[in-house]
Amino acid sequence: QVQLVQSGAEVKKPGASVKVSCKASGYVFTGNYLHWVRQAPGQGPEWMGWINPKSGGTSYAQKFQGRVTLTRDTSISTAYMQLSRLTSDDTAVYYCARDKSGADDTFDMWGQGTMVTVSS
């Protein structure tokens, strides 16, 4: 079964960092880019960046440059999203999403989402 399974909900204090995992199964992990998208309460989705699982190459939305780091571990088919210097504005559901045809920026499969709450 082709799926992306994400790690569980997190509660963090302002200024802290969070690391969310996304484990792929049912397909060749290195064959498709993985994107990260977040959705704050009441807002539309917001794209954060992508990682090429084969090469480890990354690209980040300018808004998150310097705060987000995407990595992967091919031995366990898992991608990670780390976001640092958290503020209350980072409270959102974070999704990983597979690129449909390798790298065409269309998301054909999504993880179940990870709720990150930033609160003092």
Total of residues contacting another protein (CB under 8 A) = 23
Candidates 7-15, 20-28, 42-50, 83-91; binding stretch for another protein (CB under 8 A): 42-50
Candidates 12-20, 21-29, 78-86, 106-114; binding stretch for another protein (CB under 8 A): 106-114
Least distance from another protein to the Cβ atom of residue 92, Å: 13
Cβ-Cβ contacts under 8 Å for 75 (sequence gap 6 or more): none
Give the angle subtended at the CA of 37 by the CAs of 45 and 87, to the nearest 5°: 85
Least distance from another protein to the Cβ atom of residue 101, Å: 9
SS3 89: helix
Contact (CB, 8 A) for 37 and 70: no
Least distance from another protein to the Cβ atom of residue 75, Å: 25
Q: Is 61 in the site for another protein (CB under 8 A)?
A: yes
Closest CA to 93 of 9, 4, 5: 9
